[in-house]
A and B are shown apart, each in its own frame.
Chain A
Amino acid sequence: MDSVFKGIFMHRAQDVDWHIREATVTNFAELVVAYKKYFLKEKFLQHFLHAIEDKDTRVRVAGIRGVAAIYHSVDEDEFEAIEMFKDRFHDKAGERFADNAPGMMNAMLDLCFEVTPMQCATFVRAPSLNMNHAFL
């Protein structure tokens, strides 16, 4: 597993082709869901933070959707184990509401469905976001 992560994911997540970056992020999210005991750690999940700041929209959407899928699969105990990642991710994910890219809003709404209303409010209160009135 470690060889897959180091040998493939680390390199392909920075590929020049967006197809490959998108496939890598999507598949890695599925891999995390399939083997949470191993991959549900900060050091693996932090790569989603880079993915949601990718220059290509489709990779960003894949990153958001991947994290939404991970949130969907974890239980409360596991959710608490990734507290640090969660805080960092929510700070950055809030900015994505302002992203007008196609598919981004749907992905963000998917993510909102997976978190509690309180956590969802943290997205909305992101400093770069000026659409509080739409949700509150």
Chain B
Amino acid sequence: MSTRRSRRKVKPVTQFVPMTSFKSSTPTKRDKSSPAAKENRAASSNSRQKGSASKRAKLQTAANGKSKSSTSKRSRRRRSSRVVDDEDDAASDDSADDSSVEDADEDGGSDADDDVVASDEDEHDVDVDNADEDADEVSGPRCQRLFREFLLQAKPQNVVRAWLQRYGTHDTVAMEEVAAFCLYSCVGLDAEYDDAIEGVAGCVEDGVEGVIESMNAVGDAAVFYPLVANSKLAHLKKYKKFGTRLATFWATFLAAVNAGTDAETGHDITTQCFSWLTAISSAKNRALRHTATFSAFALAKALAKQCAAVQRQLSNNQTRLKAERRSSSNKVRPICHRNVRVCAHGTVAVSPAGLRSRMLRSHLSHLLHVLLPESSACAQAG
């Protein structure tokens, strides 16, 4: 059990496996059966366990031989069952990831000692795969990243936080991701639209109109787009509660952008998103129109809630300020010089009517009478 836990830690939930990187990374996982991989494995196990090296290497090769045959069958079966008529790459990514994790589990099921070694090797393999992914992301559909993370992860906060970090390093690429997110959320990870959305890189400056035109040219193929997808179907399960999740994502996105960036940048990002969604909402494609309208309203609602909260806070603060002023003016007025002025003939004139506190007024007049006897007549006159 402990080894399983350790292995699941190896592959974090946040890991992103793009379409091309999956294609390129799968052979590396299958390369475990290649002689070079076996040599590496044997070498690593030898270096770590000097005492019973030969015995364990034999056990390991035997276990691997068993597990490889069984896992290859199982993974093939799973792939055939899961990827039914679906050209969607996310599903195949998921199944590939699952199969890789399960491969590791099955490998580890044979021997406890081998588990530790195998987990280290898997970790190494995952690192290699990650490196491959990073390399492939540059040429592959990098802009899908935000949408894939949104689909795979349960919490939108993590997705948005990761995006903000990417925005900090490279803002244009991050904005491309958002533009692609707007489009992919409309049609899903449908291979038909991949070519059309490829042009999203240029739309950060020029607007998404060109991309929308090319998507319109593909046609209204997606009858079950994510927002209205029947999640009971196996290949559409990943779109379960898509509408709620999308609305939550936009609300989180807006809050994080306003909190994580300065006011001007936050305003720019929000305006850009609104302009994209407005453009998409007037597309010919029904899926685009519907989802863009939904997304724009979700963003607007989040913005409206923030505005309402800020206005409420402002009115509260104004009321408090008024109360403070009123109370402070009550305290300050008796001491204020407005009520006491020096007359032209050198005496001090007091206007008791201006003083609110009767006690203070009498006290002040008494004080003046004692200190300046000639001012009393003037005070009475005032």
Contacts and interface: CB of A to CB of B under 8 A. Distances in A.
Nearest to A27: B297
B289 A31 contact: no
Q: Interface on chain B toward A: helix, strand, loop, or mixed SS?
A: helix
A24 B293 contact: yes
A35 B308 contact: yes
B301 A17 contact: no
Interface residues of A, number: 23
A4 interface: yes
Contacts of A113: none
Contact of B301 (A12, A15, A24, A34): A34
Contacts of B303: 1
A34 B184 CA distance: 28
Contact of B304 (A15, A23, A34): A34
Nearest to B299: A4
Interface stretch (B21-29, B187-195, B274-282): B274-282
Interface string A9-35: 001100101011001100110110011
Contacts, number: 68
A31 B278 contact: no
B290 A17 contact: yes
B274 A4 contact: yes
A8 B278 contact: yes
Interface residues of B, number: 22
B293 A23 contact: yes
Contact of A27 (B278, B293, B305, B308): B293
Contact of B307 (A4, A12, A30, A38): A38
Interface of A: 1, 3-4, 7-8, 11-12, 15, 17, 19-20, 23-24, 27-28, 30-31, 34-39
Given A17-B289, A23-B294, A27-B301, 18 more contacts: A4-B278, A4-B296, A7-B274, A7-B278, A7-B281, A11-B281, A12-B293, A15-B289, A17-B286, A17-B290, A23-B293, A24-B293, A27-B297, A27-B298, A30-B297, A31-B300, A31-B301, A35-B308
Interface of B: 228, 274, 277-278, 281-282, 286, 289-290, 293-294, 296-298, 300-301, 303-305, 307-308, 311
> Which 6 pairs of residues, A with B, have the shortest CB-CB distance?
A35-B304, A27-B297, A34-B304, A7-B278, A4-B300, A12-B293
